[in-house]
Amino acid sequence: MASQLSQSLPVLEVDETSAPLGTPVITFDHVTKVYPAQPNKPALNDVSLQIFAGEFLFLVGHSGSGKSTFIRLLTREIKPTEGKIYVADEDLTTMRNWRVPYLRRNIGCVFQDFKLLPNKTVFENVAFALEVIGKSRHVIKTQVPEVLRLVGLSEKLNSYPDQLSGGQQQRVSIARAIVNRPPLLICDEPTGNLDPQTSRGIMDLLERINRTGTTVLIATHDREMVDNMRRRVIALDRGHLTRDQDRGVYGFDV
Ligand SMILES: Nc1ncnc2c1ncn2[C@@H]1O[C@H](COP(=O)(O)OP(=O)(O)OP(=O)(O)O)[C@@H](O)[C@H]1O
């Protein structure tokens, strides 16, 4: 059954015309993930790829294709069944548990549902990300207003999440994700709850963050966004990496 499935999948298309140079931030080396509940259906199946410092790329695929699994492997929420994963020079498959919080300091995460703390102000939500890693009050007082200026929310420091629009809430969550200046920003459906115009503003912001040197990986179903932006696209289909394309398009019927 599994081999029949893989035979019916498209062959991986790789655009080799302008391979990026430099240091890989992320390496997947023949990664397979099988959840015990679905032993015959790998969530990821022999995935190999590299993502380089400063790239901006989309991870696309139907529901259940393995995007969340890919992200959860990167943050070491889960471990692969087979294969190796490196983030910078760290081998996540052999990393000791005590090192995982240090890995996560280097990865900012943004989610579809913002995950803001409702009883904290905008300033406090962002400050909290620095407090939990032991940053001083001085650092917090300098960096939080600075990052909120970058995301265009200087006027909203004292507002609570429920006083903000969806787009503004997503900006707070982006500010929180980057306030510690991680080299890698992962966004899981960042525009999933937003209208097209607001989504465009969020993507502009993510591109601006990318231009400061941050590597940005966005898992999305947002066909229009992917088609308009023409950045690198990695496509998953039933756990297989089926496409890795520079200046790609969404490429699935939705
Ligand atoms: N904890 C789990 N236990 C068992 N199977 C799982 C688990 N998490 C995911 N799966 C299965 O692994 C496959 C990939 O799921 P995954 O959540 O990674 O896909 P996805 O592309 O992120 O989907 P979506 O776009 O709906 O979030 C699916 O078949 C799913 O049912």
CATH superfamily of 1-106+217-248: P-loop containing nucleotide triphosphate hydrolases (3.40.50.300)
pLDDT at 245 over 50: yes
77 lines ligand 1 (CB under 6 A): no
pLDDT at 96 over 90: yes
Q: What is the pLDDT of residue 5?
A: 36
pLDDT tens digits, 33-75: 999 999 999 999 999 999 999 999 999 999 999 999 999 999 9
Domain coordinates in residue numbering, the chain: 1-106+217-248
40 lines ligand 1 (CB under 6 A): no
pLDDT level of residue 89 (50, 70, 90 thresholds):
confident
pLDDT tens digits, 103-132: 999 999 999 999 999 999 999 999 999 999
pLDDT tens digits, 144-202: 999 999 999 999 999 999 999 999 999 999 999 999 999 999 999 999 999 999 999 99
The best mutation among 31, 41, 60, 67 to test binding of ligand 1, ranked by most ligand atoms within 8 Å of the C-beta, falls on 67
21 lines ligand 1 (CB under 6 A): no
Q: What is the pLDDT of residue 17?
A: 47
193 lines ligand 1 (CB under 6 A): no
pLDDT at 238 over 60: yes
The best mutation among 38, 41, 193 to test binding of ligand 1, ranked by most ligand atoms within 8 Å of the C-beta, falls on 38
Q: What is the pLDDT of residue 8?
A: 45
pLDDT tens digits, 206-222: 999 999 999 999 999 88
The best mutation among 63, 223, 234, 252 to test binding of ligand 1, ranked by most ligand atoms within 8 Å of the C-beta, falls on 63
Predicted TM-score (pTM) of the model is: 0.91
Q: Rounded to whole angstroms, how far apart are CA atoms 60 and 189? A: 10
Which atom from ligand 1 is nearest to the alpha carbon of 41? 29
